[in-house]
Amino acid sequence: MILHDINYEWDGKSRSGEKPISWWPGYYRVRIIKLGDDTKAIRYLFPIAVIFKPQKTTKTMNTSLQNYIDNFAKKISKTYDLDIDKTLWVELGDEIRVAQLNPDRQLSDETLYTISWRPARANELSMIDPYIKDL
């Protein structure tokens, strides 16, 4: 089920002391989907998937989230009340890649994450396939 389907843009500037996703502008199509509901018989490791695809509008807006996925994930999680650790982060590009964010260290007001990127697995592709056909 699609929970949110948005275009997400940032200009690379800091406002009110918040760190931007990156210091360069970017523009992505973002679709947040619910993969399933937990029942007594089935419990999903990642019940939510955030699927994102770059929507380059100018040469300077070609920012890849590969190096900024933690900043992006924090903002999306905060805005849409998602559990960052229980969300599957899927980037559509030449290949479909998945980022997993695992909490590494807690600073006074910020959590640092260990990030690993990998190709999407066949079972993940079958779950998200109906939601990516028109992206």
- Quote the domain boundaries for residue 14: 2-132
Is the separation of the CB atoms in 28 and 55 below 8 Å?
A: yes
pLDDT at 86 over 80: yes
- Tell me which amino acid residue 53 is: K
Please tell me the pTM assigned to this model: 0.87
Structural domains counted in the chain: 1
What pLDDT shows up at residue 38? 63
Name residue, tokens 């992206």: 135
What pLDDT shows up at residue 58? 67
Torsional sign, CA 25, 20, 72, 68 = positive
Indicate the burial class of 7 (C-beta count within 10 angstroms; 0-12, 13-18, 19 or more). exposed
Mind listing the pLDDT tens digit for each residue in 7-65?
A: 998 888 877 777 888 888 888 999 999 987 766 677 777 889 999 998 876 666 667 78
